[in-house]
């Protein structure tokens, strides 16, 4: 190992030692000078890696999250001046632009609440609440696109900590909505308190992302990957207040082909082996049948408990021959409406042996809108209709 690399490793271990000291109750002010000494030469990405290693070494994620606020306040002076990390149109530039506007909205909400002007009938207040709801798109893009790309490059714990903070922010927003909608008791004082909590949480969270997470992302995610990330951002959509997005330089990856050299099926949203695809289709809690553009039955999934019997002998048979004569007019009308683009769904429901069966038909089209066939989806929804209240994952 080169001397420079040894020095970098030593600095990281020294920082980890100081963070452990904070964990054991040391005074942050007393450690500030020692932090400055070992900080020289470390980047924001190094800090993210240090946090990840501490969690992997056994320090609870919640504790690292708490200490993150403490040691970031010590690092703050060295991390300033990174506002413009990426060029216009870059996903990181878009996220940072949203950070600025979201913080402005939260601060204005706090001002209105503190002076008693936060009333649902006030246009400015209503606009802020609408933008607060719209901001969920920001977190969705980070959690579903940016974080997975970071994890692919070995950065797993910092995104997990940021996601935990997202949920804390969501809880504060939920409290604000409940007060505004009258779903929870409380007055102006309660709203002011929640608005203050939101502004402070966003300020802390955005600082960590702008100065630690995003620099780490720019360091590890390759130039070839960013256009694909931007494409996925565009697909998920943006906040109502997202700054105007400029085209991003670079070329997104080529459209996926049908079959790879390894024999797997490459689709726009992932790659599966034939066995995996078959397993997924058979694991669906649905009876699925596909009828091609020529009205012939081409496929049905093989689930454990079918609602109605289905035999392989129907494959290649016209769908009209699979229905009684009295139903043919309705079947043909549905198929013709799908071909002509007049309908996007046809649905029916019936009682069968004490069960409530929901049947839906959907037109299947390619990316250019050309009709490929019809998908029949049949589901026993008896138990679903009886659900009440909530049962959340956590």
Portions of the chain given CATH number 3.30.450.20: 284-385
For residues 79 and 210, the answer to whether their CB atoms sit within 8 Å is: no
Q: What percent of the chain has pLDDT over 70?
A: 83
Instruction: Report the interhelical angle of 44-56 vs 61-79 (nearest 10°).
Output: 160
Determine phi and psi for 386, rounding to 5 degrees.
-95, -5
DSSP assignment, residue 388? -
Give the residue, 131 or 245, on which the prediction is more confident. Answer: 131
Question: 35-39, 56-60, 171-175, 211-215 — which one is most confidently predicted on average?
Answer: 171-175
Q: How confident is the model at residue 27 (pLDDT cuts 50, 70, 90)?
A: confident
Residue 6 in tokens: 């040894």
Q: How confident is the model at residue 143 (pLDDT cuts 50, 70, 90)?
A: very high
Angle at 364 between CA 383 and CA 282, to 5 degrees: 45
3-state class (DSSP) for residue 258: coil
Q: What is the full DSSP assignment across 321-353?
A: GGS-GGGHHHHHHHHHHHHTTS-S-EEEEEEET
Angle at 339 between CA 337 and CA 341, to 5 degrees: 65
Cα–Cα distance between 64 and 54 in angstroms, integer? 8
Radius of gyration of the chain (CA): 28
Mean pLDDT of all residues in 52-62: 79
pLDDT in tens, 281-305: 999 999 999 999 999 999 999 998 8
* Model pLDDT, residue 270: 83
For residues 366 and 255, the answer to whether their CB atoms sit within 8 Å is: no
Which residues, 6 or more positions from 152, have their beta carbon under 8 angstroms from its beta carbon? none
CATH topology of domain 91-236: 1.20.120
Mean pLDDT of all residues in 325-332: 88
pLDDT in tens, 86-96: 899 999 999 99
Nearest to 377 by CA among 337, 346, 356, 352: 346
The superfamily (CATH) of domain 284-385 is PAS domain (3.30.450.20)
How far lies 46's CA from each of 21, 148, 194, in Å? 19, 19, 34
For residues 322 and 297, the answer to whether their CB atoms sit within 8 Å is: yes
229 CB neighbour count, 10 Å cutoff = 21
pLDDT in tens, 92-115: 999 999 999 999 999 899 888 878
Q: Is the pLDDT of residue 44 over 90?
A: no
Portions of the chain given CATH number 1.20.120.520: 91-236
Residue 241 in tokens: 């207040």
* Model pLDDT, residue 229: 93
For residues 199 and 35, the answer to whether their CB atoms sit within 8 Å is: no
With 0-12 / 13-18 / 19 or more C-beta atoms within 10 angstroms meaning exposed / middle / buried, residue 146 is: buried
Cα–Cα distance between 390 and 394 in angstroms, integer? 11
């Amino acid at each position: 190992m080169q001397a420079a690399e040894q020095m970098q490793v030593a600095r990281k271990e020294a920082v980890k030692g100081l963070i452990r000291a904070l964990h054991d109750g040391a005074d942050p002010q007393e450690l500030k000078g020692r932090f400055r000494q070992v900080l020289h030469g470390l980047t924001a990405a190094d800090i993210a890696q240090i946090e990840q290693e501490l969690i992997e070494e056994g320090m609870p994620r919640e504790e690292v999250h708490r200490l993150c606020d403490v040691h970031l306040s010590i690092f703050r002076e060295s991390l300033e001046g990174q506002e413009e990390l990426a060029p216009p149109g870059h996903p990181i530039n878009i996220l940072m632009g949203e950070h600025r506007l979201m913080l402005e909205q939260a601060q204005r909400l706090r001002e209105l609440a503190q002076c008693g002007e936060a009333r649902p009938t006030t246009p400015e207040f209503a606009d802020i609440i609408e933008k607060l709801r719209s901001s969920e798109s920001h977190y969705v893009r980070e959690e579903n696109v940016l974080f997975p790309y970071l994890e692919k490059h070995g950065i797993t714990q910092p995104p997990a900590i940021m996601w935990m903070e997202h949920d804390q922010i969501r809880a504060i927003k939920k409290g604000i909505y409940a007060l505004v909608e009258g779903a929870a008791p409380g007055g102006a004082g309660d709203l002011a308190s929640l608005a203050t909590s939101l502004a402070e949480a966003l300020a802390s969270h955005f600082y960590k992302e702008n100065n630690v997470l995003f620099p780490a992302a720019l360091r590890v995610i390759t130039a070839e990957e960013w256009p694909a990330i931007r494409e996925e951002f565009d697909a998920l959509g943006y906040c109502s207040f997202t700054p105007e997005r400029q085209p991003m330089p670079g070329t997104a990856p080529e459209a996926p082909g049908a079959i790879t050299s390894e024999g797997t099926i490459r689709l726009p949203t992932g790659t599966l082996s034939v066995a995996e695809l078959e397993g997924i289709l058979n694991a669906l809690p649905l009876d699925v049948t596909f009828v091609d553009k020529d009205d012939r039955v081409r496929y049905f999934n093989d689930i454990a408990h079918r609602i109605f019997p289905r035999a392989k002998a129907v494959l290649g048979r016209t769908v009209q021959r699979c229905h009684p004569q009295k139903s043919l007019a309705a079947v043909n009308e549905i198929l013709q409406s799908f071909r002509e683009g007049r309908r996007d769904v046809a649905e029916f429901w019936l009682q069968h042996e004490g069960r409530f069966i929901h049947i839906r038909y959907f037109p299947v089209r390619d990316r250019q809108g050309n009709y490929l066939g019809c998908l029949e989806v049949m589901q026993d929804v008896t138990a679903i209709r009886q659900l009440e209240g909530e049962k959340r994952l956590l």
